[in-house]
Structure 1
Amino acid sequence: MKNRRSFLKKLGTGIAAAGIIPFAKQANAGEVKLKDALIHHVFFWLKEPENETHKKQLVEALNQLTNVKTIKLSHIGFPASTEDRDVVDHSYSVSYMAMFDSQADQDSYQIDPIHLKFVEENQHLWNKVVVYDSIDQAL
């Protein structure tokens, strides 16, 4: 029994260490390439920006979008309390960023039933949406 406990303890330690190894070396921006990835960044302005129930509903619905199979990475955010400057827009309510491996994957996302349901069930919450799509293009 002692050998089994010792083995399980060592196994757990090894698994934990293996999980930490990728984070041990910090990568700089030049080492992280998103070649051919399409970044889809959506900004929502809620009709009632102070309505926490509406904001929570939108965030929960955005979280459901991560079930779309072609999404590789996603992020839901709110305006940061960064410095007010002419080039910084803090006026939106919620932002959503999704990364796809290709334009074709993003095209598929647009007609995915999960995405269509999201728009249908939540579009009453916002009065404005702005989308910025970008893709790496080598010059």
Structure 2
Amino acid sequence: MQPIMQRLFILPLLFLSLTFLTTCNQEKEEVIEIERVIDGDMEPGLIHTVYFWLNDDVDEASAMNFEEGVSRLEGVPTVKRFFFGPAASTPTRGVTDNSFDYALILWFDDVAGHDVYQTHPIHLKFVEEQEAKFKRVQVYDNVLSK
């Protein structure tokens, strides 16, 4: 599991476990403190999330070529963290959209790092070589805080 996914899984599990333990042992007046689990390398920054819908005629070989192209984006020096994969087959809910083929999540130190990425030769080459495969691309950028 990726570190960010581990945190997203561990924190709620830890909270529920501690809540259960405290309600089961109410006669005990011991105070239980919840430690905040934080990745020591985590700093505020910018998250750049890109959702890709590929054209219907993209075959397996072309999809593999796309995946290889995406993996090269990790080589842009301002990319602090890199996550990439297909849509998860989670249950359908009113707020869930897993109609995309792939998601790319990049973590930058700041907006300036993102801006360097946008004009970096590796990114420009990726767009030039791969954009014919895109049916749709949707980007969401957000700033992180502690």
Q: Deviations over 1:73-101 (max 9, x none)?
A: 10111111111111111110111111111
State the Cα distance separating 1:53 from its structure 2 match.
Answer: 1.8
- Match for 1:48 among 42, 56, 61? 56
2:117 aligned with 1:109, yes or no? yes
Compute the RMSD of aligned alpha carbons: 2.2
Cα distance in 2 for partners of 1:84, 1:131 equals 22
Show the counterpart of 1:82: 90
After the TM superposition, which segments of 4 or more aligned residues of structure 1 sit over 6 Å from their partners? none
State the Cα distance separating 1:48 from its structure 2 match.
Answer: 2.0
3-state SS in 2 of match to 1:62: helix
Show the counterpart of 2:99: 91
- Match for 2:38 among 15, 32, 41? 32
Asked whether the 8 Å contact 2:82–2:107 carries over to 1, the reply is yes
Higher mean alpha-carbon deviation, 40-49 vs 111-120, is at: 40-49
State the Cα distance separating 1:57 from its structure 2 match.
Answer: 1.2
- Match for 1:67 among 67, 75, 79? 75
Cα distance in 2 for partners of 1:87, 1:49 equals 28
TM-score by length of 1: 0.73
TM-score by length of 2: 0.70
State the Cα distance separating 1:128 from its structure 2 match.
Answer: 0.4
Q: Deviations over 1:43-72 (max 9, x none)?
A: 000012762222211110000111100101
Residues paired across the two proteins, number: 114
Query: Can you give the 5+ residue segments of structure 2 that lack an aligned partner in the other structure?
Result: 12-35
Query: Can you give the 5+ residue segments of structure 1 that lack an aligned partner in the other structure?
Result: 1-22
